[in-house]
Chain A
Amino acid sequence: NAGVTQTPKFQVLKTGQSMTLQCAQDMNHNSMYWYRQDPGMGLRLIYYSASEGTTDKGEVPNGYNVSRLNKREFSLRLESAAPSQTSVYFCASRTGGGAKNIQYFGAGTRLSVL
């Protein structure tokens, strides 16, 4: 079972470059999420997609855009990367509503912006 797959695993960008982080899940989940993880700050929600065709801002959306391409795929785009976006990015998915549905995470993308 692949679960949640993120690509690439590592990326180095120069300030001002753009890139797209890819995420795909094979669990037929409705909801998908993008987080960033910084030392001492836990994981913070960037954007989420409650279902195919919808996206909403999370806690730290500035500098990012997302696309829910289909039910499986949810991409995160940095249009003009900044050093402050150096972080580890995690994608997660969840079946849908209901208290007992939980999020499953990918292995992460480690991004450095120079």
Chain B
Amino acid sequence: GQQLNQSPQSMFIQEGEDVSMNCTSSSIFNTWLWYKQDPGEGPVLLIALYKAGELTSNGRLTAQFGITRKDSFLNISASIPSDVGIYFCAGQDAGGTSYGKLTFGQGTILTVHP
């Protein structure tokens, strides 16, 4: 089946630093999604990417849909303590009989020290 490799697995940073994480896939996706999960909660969508090469921002977050359609990147600028959580990438098969099934990366655990 499809596999997503997400890295790094964890990050410990100081408040104010920038953060980068990425996902690579063994197959092509039509859509790349980035979710954040706070402790005790479900994943919440941060950014959705629909086209190869697309670069999209949401406040201090910027994500890119790789040209090959097999990778995606998420950057967080000027991190703050509330950025703490687990960040997941997910590839979505949108067409045909796939019914929008998601394949998730393993997650990046982000810790921000004040």
User: Which A residues lie at the B interface, using CB under 8 A?
Assistant: 4, 31, 33, 35, 40-45, 48, 50, 56, 58-59, 90, 92, 94, 96-108
- Interface pairs (28), CB distance under 8 Å: A31-B99, A33-B101, A40-B9, A40-B106, A40-B107, A41-B106, A42-B6, A42-B88, A42-B106, A43-B104, A59-B1, A90-B43, A92-B42, A97-B95, A97-B100, A99-B94, A99-B95, A100-B48, A101-B94, A102-B31, A102-B92, A102-B100, A103-B102, A105-B43, A106-B42, A107-B41, A108-B40, A108-B41
Other 6 A-B pairs with CB < 8 A, given A42-B4, A43-B90, A99-B30: A56-B99, A99-B95, A102-B31, A102-B45, A105-B42, A105-B44
Q: Complex: how many Å from CA A48 to CA B90?
A: 16
A43, A59, A108: which contacts B88 (Cβ < 8 A)? A43
- Return A103 CB to nearest CB of chain B, in Å: 6
Given A41-B106, A43-B104, A98-B94, verify A107-B45 contact (CB < 8 Å): no
Q: Mark B1-30, 1 if CB is under 8 A from A, else 0.
A: 100101001000000000000000000001
Q: Which residues of B contact A106 (CB under 8 A)?
A: 42
User: Count of B residues near A, CB < 8 Å?
Assistant: 29
Measured in the bound complex, the distance between the Cα atoms of B109 and A78 in whole Å is: 30
